[in-house]
Structure 1
């Protein structure tokens, strides 16, 4: 019996070593990609949760290759999908997807969840969503699964060499501080003090990512929240002018976030954190939409009410005929075409948009290591 067990163990060890060698070849094909954050980057995790924050019904996904909803808050591909195209990998699967097994773990994973924010009390109205502590807990679980596939040393190398994207902050304003006229947070903090608190909490999140082994982390600032169709509708904008108060919030938040990123890079003596000026990217479209092929940046393609900015996109919503002429797909989220232009800036943008460098420069530098 003992000899039989020894033979079996030897067989599996040998098979495991062969598999690891084969896996090593696959690892070199493209770098892993990990995604954390909110609905701007969620590609389907919330489909597996009991929550109203879902994009699992038509016409979401109308321009996706399958023409079916996938959980992405888009008419087609979203920003992480398009980043994956640029780095030579397949789109990452949602971590909760049962398809994320075996060699697919090598591609990375998407941990994002619509509705979450920097703060754990953001998005409480969405109930069962994957808040950042849980996203990181899943990432730790993922790393254990990856180690089981390729071994601890190779798994740590994959994570270290991976590209990481994190997108947070918008919900902490629209689904927390400004959700109600006198929200708990707005009674607790003045806006400047709230932003300072947010930034201090975000810094802890970024430090945690570094402690988890990530070494190339793209951090997107918050876009012009006062200009999205949802806010134009909610604030009853008469001429489609951006809401001044929400724009003020963003103008306080982004510079402090970029200061933290610079400070962390100095602390770690590295260029681990890459800042993306999402606000400037979006404002380019808003101030001159036709230069980018858009007919409007005020009205959502899919929705209802003023500016199609009320509620989620549903089968009963107004739906534009040409999605490529609309910057916004729904009340909050960009269309696939808009996302493609944004990703182009992430990879090729000047220091006005990317700091300390764009993703093409990152890829070039990393290729020399």
Structure 2
């Protein structure tokens, strides 16, 4: 699910309009070596493929617009925002999944994703779907560092990690799956106390990332998840579910407060990417961004996602839809989100 994900006057609305040369000059100036990705389905490129879970999409029409129309396990018709960011920075055309059996040694220094669809900050959330927890993602990262050291040498491996950007994008599943749809945590916490619980977990994991070498962190804020086609259908609302969106806004405020304190105390350069306003504006003014449909997904009837999308027909022009399925964005929408993340990163770096 969603939750989420990442130059000043160098940027306009779409990634293809970026001044790539200037962007890469900034990246080179600050020795940005690669991107390491942690999170949920918003940034999972296929780590769930070999898990015993229904939170995987290694089948068509997912990947319909990926290279060679190949379903990789990305919850999208094409590339994710993280892929587009890495490409814009000149690292790689797409970020591979760490658990991809075809991952090569040559790919290791260029960035890897440990993200898992269905995961969250709350350790209970991934248990509900049998997916990879954030603690397990960090365990895989430690394993990755050892492998990287064998490939490029320990000194260079340490330099790559230190100069990398860590990106963290998750949270939606904690609220939707773990609090509202399956009200496990709502029996234990008020929504405000549950947000505090998640912020505490987030702080713990960011400290763990820092201990593993993270010195630059892009923290992707929550999207207005009350606007997803799935939530609209479940709640029977014509427009967005405002109560859910208020939760997202409140949680974003808590994330920003945490990072303002935690970042400096750890010595981490942090870059908060606020996608809430961008996504909300796109949904309410789709024509402004080149879209024609923002209330339903492109797959099937527009209310399917995951296994229920398997083998279904899709809308003819995916570039005109904000949502690919009932939960996840199209590649075209991810282009807009990736621009926002790059803007945050480069503006902060200066």
Q: Which runs of 5+ in 2 are unaligned?
A: 1-29
- Aligned residue for 1:327, secondary structure, equals strand
Q: State the partner residue of 2:256.
A: 258
Q: How does 1:169-184 map to 2 (within 5 A)?
A: 169-180=171-182, 183-184=183-184
- Aligned residue for 1:66, secondary structure, equals helix
Counterpart-to-counterpart distance in 1, 2:59 and 2:151: 35
- Aligned residue for 1:165, secondary structure, equals strand
Q: State the partner residue of 1:92.
A: 95
Offset of residue 58 of structure 1: 0.7
Offset of residue 106 of structure 1: 1.0
Q: State the partner residue of 1:309.
A: 303
Aligned residues of 1:147 and 1:154 also touching (Cα < 8 A) = yes
Q: State the partner residue of 1:218.
A: 218
Q: 2:245 aligns with which of 244, 247, 256?
A: 247
Q: State the partner residue of 2:345.
A: 359
Q: 1:323 aligns with which of 310, 313, 318?
A: 318
Aligned residues of 1:30 and 1:89 also touching (Cα < 8 A) = no
Relative to the length of structure 1, the TM-score reads 0.83
Counterpart-to-counterpart distance in 1, 2:341 and 2:162: 20
Q: State the partner residue of 1:102.
A: 105
Aligned residues of 1:303 and 1:331 also touching (Cα < 8 A) = no
Q: State the partner residue of 1:293.
A: 290
Aligned residues of 1:30 and 1:88 also touching (Cα < 8 A) = no
Deviations 1:6-30 (A, max 9, x none): xxxxxxxxxxxxxxxxxxxxxx997
Offset of residue 360 of structure 1: 2.4
Answer with 1 or 2: which has the greater Rg. Answer: 1
- Aligned residue for 2:96, secondary structure, equals coil
- Aligned residue for 2:36, secondary structure, equals strand
- Aligned residue for 1:260, secondary structure, equals helix
Aligned residues of 1:294 and 1:327 also touching (Cα < 8 A) = yes
What number of residue pairs does the alignment pair up? Answer: 319
- Aligned residue for 1:51, secondary structure, equals coil
Offset of residue 138 of structure 1: 0.4
Deviations 1:18-74 (A, max 9, x none): xxxxxxxxxx99722211000000001111222111111110111112112110011
Counterpart-to-counterpart distance in 2, 1:196 and 1:41: 24
Q: What's the Cα RMSD here?
A: 1.8
Aligned residues of 2:126 and 2:133 also touching (Cα < 8 A) = no
Runs of 4 or more above 3 Å deviation: 315-318
Offset of residue 145 of structure 1: 0.8
Relative to the length of structure 2, the TM-score reads 0.87
Q: State the partner residue of 1:12.
A: none
Counterpart-to-counterpart distance in 1, 2:267 and 2:109: 28
1:267 aligns with 2:253: no
Q: State the partner residue of 2:124.
A: 121
Q: How does 1:184-203 map to 2 (within 5 A)?
A: 184-203=184-203
Between the two structures, name the one with larger relative contact order (CA 8 Å, sep ≥ 6).
Answer: 2
Offset of residue 316 of structure 1: 4.8
Offset of residue 330 of structure 1: 0.7
1:342 aligns with 2:328: no
1:332 aligns with 2:327: yes
Q: State the partner residue of 1:282.
A: 279
Flag the 1:200–1:125 CA change in 2: closer, same or farther, 3 A.
Answer: closer
Offset of residue 310 of structure 1: 3.9
Q: 1:66 aligns with which of 55, 65, 68?
A: 68
Offset of residue 184 of structure 1: 2.3
Aligned residues of 2:43 and 2:82 also touching (Cα < 8 A) = yes
Counterpart-to-counterpart distance in 2, 1:72 and 1:51: 15
**Does 224-233 or 317-326 show the bigger shift?**
317-326
Deviations 1:120-167 (A, max 9, x none): 11143422x111111000000000111112222211110000111110
Offset of residue 87 of structure 1: 1.1
Q: Which runs of 5+ in 1 are unaligned?
A: 1-27, 349-357
Aligned residues of 2:210 and 2:266 also touching (Cα < 8 A) = no
Aligned residues of 2:222 and 2:249 also touching (Cα < 8 A) = no
- Aligned residue for 2:294, secondary structure, equals coil
